[in-house]
Amino acid sequence: PNKINLKDYQKPSFDVETVSLDIKLFEDHAQVDSILKMVRQSAGDIVLFGEDLELLALTMNGEALTAERYEQSAGKLTISDAPDEVTLAIQVRICPQTNTALEGFYMAGSGDDRMFVTQCEPEGFRKITFYPDRPDVLAIFTTRLEADKRYPTLLANGNLVEAGDMIDAPNRHYAIWHDPTNKPSYLFACVVADLDVLTDSYTTSEGREVLLEVYAKSADIDKCDVGMQALKDSMQWDEVNYGRAYDLDRYMIVAVSQFNMGAMENKGLNIFNTACVLSSPETTTDTRSFSVKAIIAHEYFHNWTGNRITCRDWFQLCLKEGFTVYRDQSFSADQQSSAVQRIDDVATLRAHQFAEDAGPLAHPVRPESFVEINNFYTTTVYEKGAEIVRMIANTLGADHFRKGTDEYFRRYDGQAVTVEDFLSALSITNSKVEDFIDWYRQPGTPVVSGHQDYDSATQTLTITLSQQTRHVSGFDAPKPLPIPVATALFDKESGKIMAERMLLLDQATQTFTFEGISAAPVVSLLRDFSAPVQLNYDYQDEDLAFLLKHETNGFNRWQVTQMLVNRILLPNQGTKSDPDVYLAALAQTLPVLASEDAMLAARLLDIPSAQELAAAILKDYDPELVKAQREGLYQQLAEALKDQWEVLYKQLPLQSYEDSAEARGTRALRNVVLDMALTANVEGAGEWAQQQYDNASCMTERFGALKAMVNHQVVNADEYLAEFYERFQADDLVIDLWFSVQASADNVNADVIKSLLEHVDFDWNTPNRVRSVISAFTSQPTALWTQEGLDIYTDVIKKLDDSNPMIASRLLQVLARWNTLAEPRRQMAHVQLLDVQQQVSSKHVHESLNSVLGT
Ligand code: HT7
Ligand code: ZN
C-alpha cells in the first residue's frame, strides 16, 4: 500500500496565490470551475490532487492542455515543464447527490430536508476539484455559488460580496463570497440549503463588530441559543486568556444532521453535526449540552490554533488538535468545577487513549507514517496531544506559558508549521520545554512506580520514582521522558499539607528529598493528573482512604477512589485491596460532600466501565468475569450505603429547570442515587424512577429515569420506552438516545441489536444513528464478544466499507484489543477479523485491519 512517511516531506514546487471557484449545483450533479493563480517556489512539476472527478476542461495560461501535456494517475494530475507563473482554469463535474462518504461536497438529509455541504479536512477538497490539496499551500479564495432558489441559503467562507438572481434562469440564484485570509484548502467550506438563522453580534477587544449566525432547520432553530452563548463566551475567553481576537466580520455555524465527526472549523463557516450544536433543556441532557459548549469553543479556538497558524503536513495534526483540545478543556474548566472537568477528561483519556496506547493501534502523538490520514484522528493525537501541552503549561507556569504562546502567535501567524516550531516558541523562557519532543515521538503509556522512605532522625522524606514504557514494535527502544509529578505531603495527624512540589522525573529512576518533615506523611502524587501516566505507588489502602478525606484537590479525591476500585477489581495488576476500606471511606465522605459539591459526590461513586477495566488487562481477558466482578462491587457499594439513598434522594427534589453548576450537580447526583437505590432494591425506588420520568423538568431527569428503568428492568420499562419514543418521535437527536439506551442496556444481546438495525427509523447513511446503536453496543463487551455479537458488528463494518469507509474504519478500530481475550473468544474474534479482511476494499479499513491483526 501507498505509505506516506514524515521523513519524505518536501515543500511544494508551486504556491497558489488566489483561487476562484464557481460551483453550480444542478438536480443530479454539480459543475465546478476553478481558476488558480500559481507561482513557482522551487524546481519541479505542478502536482494537483483529484478524486472522483470528471475532468471536462483544463487550460494553462489560456491554452487548452491536451492529454499529452499532463499525466493523470493514482489520484494525481501532474503537469511538467510549467512556466514560473501559471494560471490554470479547470472544469470538473462531480456528484454530491450520491456522495455517501460525507467528504468533499455532499448531500445531507433527504426529501425536502436535503441540503448540500462540504467536509474538506483532511483531504476532501480534492473531491471538489483538482488542487494542490495539502495544508502547506495557502491561498486567497473567492467562491461563487449558484443553485435553484429552493435553496435560499448560499454560504461560503469570508464576506458576502454579491448576491442576486440569474437573469437567464428565473428559478436560480447566486452568491459570491470572498475570504481575505490565506488558508489551506482543508478549511474551505460552502453550504447550499434552506435554513433558518439565529443572529447575534460580538464586538472584539480590537473593536471589530462581528456578525454571528447559527443556521439550522426551522424546526431546530429554537435549540441554537446555547451554542450562540457558548460562541460569545469563547470569543471573550480567547481574548482574555490568550490575547487572541477574531479576525473577520462574520462567524457562521451551520447544523447538519449527516456528519462523520463532531464539527469542523472551516474559516468563518464552521459546520457542525446537529448533535454537537443543538441543545435545549427538554431534549438534551446536561452532559450533552456541556459538550455542545466545549465543541463550539474547540472549533472557535481553532481560528488561531489551526487556521491562522496551520500544520505543515498531516503528521503535525497534533499541533492544532492537541493544543486546541487543551484550550477547550481549560475553557470548560472555567465554566464549571475545574476538578470535575479534570475528572471527565482523565476518565476519557484512561478509557480510550490508554487502551489505544496499550494495543496494536498504538502510535506516537505525531505519527511517522500513514496510508490513510483519516485513520489518525485518534484519541492519541487529540487527548494525549492535549496532555503534552498541559505538562508544558504546568512546567512553565501561567506567565511563562503565556509568554511562549504569545511568541508562537507572533512568530508563525499566517504560516504552516511543525511541532518543533511550537516547542521552540514555547521554550523562550525555559529550554527544558524542547525535551518534551520525545512525548510526541514515542508511543506507549509510561508506568511510574515508586515508594517512600522516612528517616525520623534527619526528618527527611525520600521519594523514589521510576518510569518504564513498553517497547512498541517498529519504534526505537523507549527513552525516559520528562514527567512532571505534582506532589503534596499530608500530615497524618492534622490532615494538613506539609509541603507541595512539582517533581520532574526525567530519568529512569530518581530520588527526591524533602527536608524538615517532622513526621512520616501521606504522599499525594500526580495531583490534577499532572502527566498522562499509570501510577503504581506503594500505598496502603488506609493511605488512600486518608487522602479521600483530606486531599484538598478534588480531582485527587476521585483518583484515590479509582485506585481503590482498581486494586479491588484488578488484583493482578498489583496490590489487592479490601473492599471494606473503600466502602467505609465512601460511606463517611458521601453525606458531607453531597451537600457541598453534588457533582463531585456523584463522580466519587464512579466504578470504571467494563471497557476501561478491559483496557488494563493485557492477557486472558474474560468479559463475563470482569462484568460479574464489576457488578458485584457496584452491588456491594449500593448495599453498603443502602441507608443513605433514600435520605439523599429526598434531599434532591425535582425542581424547575435551571442551568447552573449547582443544579447540574443536583441532577447528576440524583440520577446516580436513583440507580444505586434500584441496585440495592430500596423499597419504592421503582416508583421514584417513574415519578422522576413523569415529572421531569428536563431531559437529564427524564433520560436518567428511563435509563435506570431499562437497566434494572423495572416492570413497565417497556411502556416508558414506548412513551419516550412517541413523545420525541420528530426529534432525531432524541431518537438517537432512544436507540442508544436500548443498545447499551445491561442485558442487551445480538437479537436486540438486530431488531434495532431493522427499525424503520434506523438509517445507514446517518452516522449519528449508526453510532447510536452500534457504538452503544460496544459498552457491553459480554454481548459484543460473542459469535452473534461479532457477526452483527462486523456486518456493519462490511456494509459501510464502501459507502462510508471513514466510519467503517473507526468502528473496526474499537475491536483492536481482540488479542487480549481469553480463549475461545480470542480465536473466534481472529477468524471474524480475517473474514472481514477478505471482504472489504477501502484503504481505510485495510490499514486499520492490518494494524489490528499485526499483518
Ligand atoms: N478538525 C476537525 C477534524 C476532522 C473532521 C471533522 C468532521 C468530519 C470529518 C473530519 N475529519 C477531520 C474537527 C476538529 O478537530 O475540530
Ligand atoms: Zn479540532
Residue-level pLDDT at 181: 97
Q: What is the band of 570 on the pLDDT scale with cuts at 50, 70, 90?
A: confident
What distances in angstroms separate CA 709 from CA 216, 507, 748, one per listed residue?
33, 52, 14
Residue-level pLDDT at 676: 98
* CB hemisphere CA count around 580 (13 angstroms): 0
pTM above 0.80, yes or no: yes
Residue-level pLDDT at 336: 87
Residue 608: asked if its preceding bond is cis (omega within 30°), the reply is: no
Residue-level pLDDT at 580: 95
Lowest mean pLDDT among 475-489, 525-539, 575-589: 575-589
Residue-level pLDDT at 44: 97
Residue-level pLDDT at 1: 65
The closest residue, in CA terms, to atom 14 on ligand 1 is: 264
Report the chain's mean pLDDT, rounded to a whole number: 97
With the most atoms of ligand 1 within 8 angstroms of its CB, the residue from 264, 270, 809 to mutate is 264
- Cβ neighbours, 10 Å, residue 537: 20
pLDDT(454) > 90: yes
Residues 495-505 as b/e (b if ≥16 CB within 10 A, e otherwise) read: eebbbeeebbb
Q: Could you give the angle at the alpha carbon of 530 between the alpha carbons of 526 and 532, nearest 5°? A: 95
Q: Which CATH architecture has domain 310-441?
A: Orthogonal Bundle (1.10)
Residue 328 near ligand 1, beta carbon < 6 Å: no
Residue 217 near ligand 1, beta carbon < 6 Å: no
Q: Which atom of ligand 1 is nearest to the CA of 321?
A: 15
Amino acid 788 reads E
CATH fold group of domain 1-194: Immunoglobulin-like (2.60.40)
Q: Which of 266, 268, 233, 230 is nearest to 249 (CA)?
A: 268
The closest residue, in CA terms, to atom 11 on ligand 1 is: 121
Residue-level pLDDT at 50: 98
What distances in angstroms separate CA 807 from CA 100, 101, 382, 459, 810, one per listed residue?
11, 9, 18, 59, 5
Residue 805: asked if its preceding bond is cis (omega within 30°), the reply is: no
For ligand 2, the distance from its centroid to the CA atom of residue 383, given in whole angstroms, is 11
- The fraction of the chain above a pLDDT of 90, given in percent, is 97
Distance CA 23, CA 104 (A): 13
Q: What is the band of 653 on the pLDDT scale with cuts at 50, 70, 90?
A: confident
For ligand 2, the distance from its centroid to the CA atom of residue 321, given in whole angstroms, is 5
Residue 673 near ligand 1, beta carbon < 6 Å: no
With the most atoms of ligand 1 within 8 angstroms of its CB, the residue from 120, 121, 234 to mutate is 121
Distance CA 11, CA 417 (A): 12
What distances in angstroms separate CA 670 from CA 117, 181, 339, 463, 702, one per listed residue?
41, 49, 19, 41, 12
Q: Which of 505, 493, 500 is nearest to 523 (CA)?
A: 500
104-142: per-residue pLDDT in tens? 999 999 999 999 999 999 999 999 999 999 999 999 999
For ligand 1, the distance from its centroid to the CA atom of residue 299, given in whole angstroms, is 9
Q: What is the band of 459 on the pLDDT scale with cuts at 50, 70, 90?
A: very high
The pLDDT of 65-91, averaged and rounded, is 96
Residue 265 near ligand 1, beta carbon < 6 Å: yes
pLDDT(574) > 90: no
776-791: per-residue pLDDT in tens? 999 999 999 999 999 9
Residue-level pLDDT at 662: 92
pLDDT(302) > 80: yes
The pLDDT of 715-735, averaged and rounded, is 97
Q: Which atom of ligand 1 is nearest to the CA of 298?
A: 16
With the most atoms of ligand 1 within 8 angstroms of its CB, the residue from 370, 377, 807 to mutate is 377
Q: What is the band of 578 on the pLDDT scale with cuts at 50, 70, 90?
A: confident
Total residue count of the chain as it appears in this document: 855
Residue 711 near ligand 1, beta carbon < 6 Å: no
Catalytic option among 51, 103, 213, 299 = 299
Residue 321 near ligand 1, beta carbon < 6 Å: yes
Residues 305/413, Cβ–Cβ less than 8 Å: no
Distance CA 608, CA 585 (A): 18
Distance CA 435, CA 392 (A): 10
Q: Where are the domains of the chain?
A: 1-194, 310-441, 729-855
Residue 121 near ligand 1, beta carbon < 6 Å: yes
Q: CATH code for 729-855? A: 1.25.50.10
The pLDDT of 540-544, averaged and rounded, is 95
Is 687 known to be catalytic?
no
pLDDT(572) > 80: no
Q: Which of 373, 372, 377, 370 is nearest to 840 (CA)?
A: 372
Q: What is the band of 655 on the pLDDT scale with cuts at 50, 70, 90?
A: confident
